Amino acid sequence: MNYKVGSLFAGVGGVCLGFKNASHESANYELVWANEMDAHASKTYQLNFEHDLIVGDIEKIVKPERAENAQEQLHFENKKQQILAQPIDILTGGFPCQAFSIAGARKGFDDQRGNLFYSIINLVSDLEKTSHKPRILFLENVKNLRGHDKGNTYQVIKQEIERIGYTVKDVVLNTKEYTNLPQNRERMFIVCFLNEADAQRFTMFDRLHEFKKDHSEVNRRDNISRVLDLKADKSKLQSYYYSRDKYPNYFISESEYASLPAAKRRKERINITEQIDQEFEFYQVRRGMYVRKNSSGVCPTLTANMGTGGHNVALIKVKDGVRKLTPAETFKLQGFPVGNGYQLPENMSNGHLYKQAGNAVSVDVITLIANEILNVLQAGD
């Protein structure tokens, strides 16, 4: 049996790929459509999926009357009909998190991106009118959503979902604890059930200890080796290496530091050849001011602002120097099998690719939850 999935805020397809990878002996998920408004992310998505990607602002697609003119209104109305023409069993949405993020402005519903949550609610209402409500809503956001505005923001979200008939279950999961992906990434997952019987059968969040991974040192190194290209050298990845010519402030010797005028001397001396000294570890030059190794032994949380400057990308020591992660490696750290069925556009800037990886979800976490949902659905049918 195929359970049909529609995906909002699809990005480069992390949630979609997670559901696609889920499996059951007698059922699976069928991706029927996805929506994304970013042109660059859409290009990456379309390179990797065959089903319909409906490109455009979901707020205007759900409410075409908000378009600026009649021509644009017709344009969005056509997209809306394209979505409504395909009934779905599961609606997914990693709705924009910047409004709630610790790294963002924390404006919540005062930020337009926060209000995009209501596009999900409105679409469910429209689907009910044309076919039926999705049986499952699968939502994802930053950990800070739960505590934003002293918990009031999430209370509004939860109450709105319950108002339209769903039972809500939520949890915060860290990628490094529940998958073999070596990334410290905490995200909130909200699974909503239209049928109370489905909700009662879904017990995953009550027994998380069953899903935790073994993180011995041997396993940690194996996991890192699977996502990093540790055999490549400067001849292949020259542009990713840090050198004194490109980053003179990151190679300051003790004598050079001592000779600097006090006004120009940073609080901490940076010399990455000295301070980034261990393989199979991840480092960052924080705000260009100091070097820190990630204490958890895995990659720090990938962020969208990796695309705004090299110092935001984690650094690693390899046999012939120090380099930053490549875009392909950041995608692999999110669980995208780059080079093994998943492609990155050839003519896209690294900045856009880093941003896409940072905005993505960890595919393996999605698959873990999607498998549990699939078991629930099959038990009820």
CA distance 41 to 327: 14
Give the three-state DSSP class for 37.
coil
CA distance 287 to 309: 10
Residues 182, 176 contacting (CB under 8 angstroms): yes
Spatial strand order of the sheet with 90-93 comes to 52-55, 28-36, 2-8, 90-93, 136-142, 186-193, 167-174
CA distance 153 to 146: 8
Neighbours of 57 (CB within 10 A): 16
* DSSP assignment string, 142-206: EGGGTTGGGGHHHHHHHHHHHHTT-EEEEEEEEHHHHSS--B--EEEEEEEESSHHHHHH--GGG
CA distance 320 to 341: 30
CA distance 117 to 29: 24
* DSSP assignment string, 206-229: G-GGGGPPP--HHHHHHHHHHHS-
Tell the burial category of 302 from Cβ atoms under 10 Å away from its Cβ (0-12, 13-18, 19+): buried
Identify any residues that bridge with 192 across adjacent strands, giving them in sequence order: 137, 168
Active-site hit among 16, 97, 192, 299:
97
Active site residue 16: no
**Amino acid code (one letter) for 53:** L
Q: What is the DSSP letter of 99?
A: T
Identify any residues that bridge with 34 across adjacent strands, giving them in sequence order: 7, 53
Tokens 């000779």 sit at which residue?
Answer: 259
Give catalytic residues, as residue numbers: 97
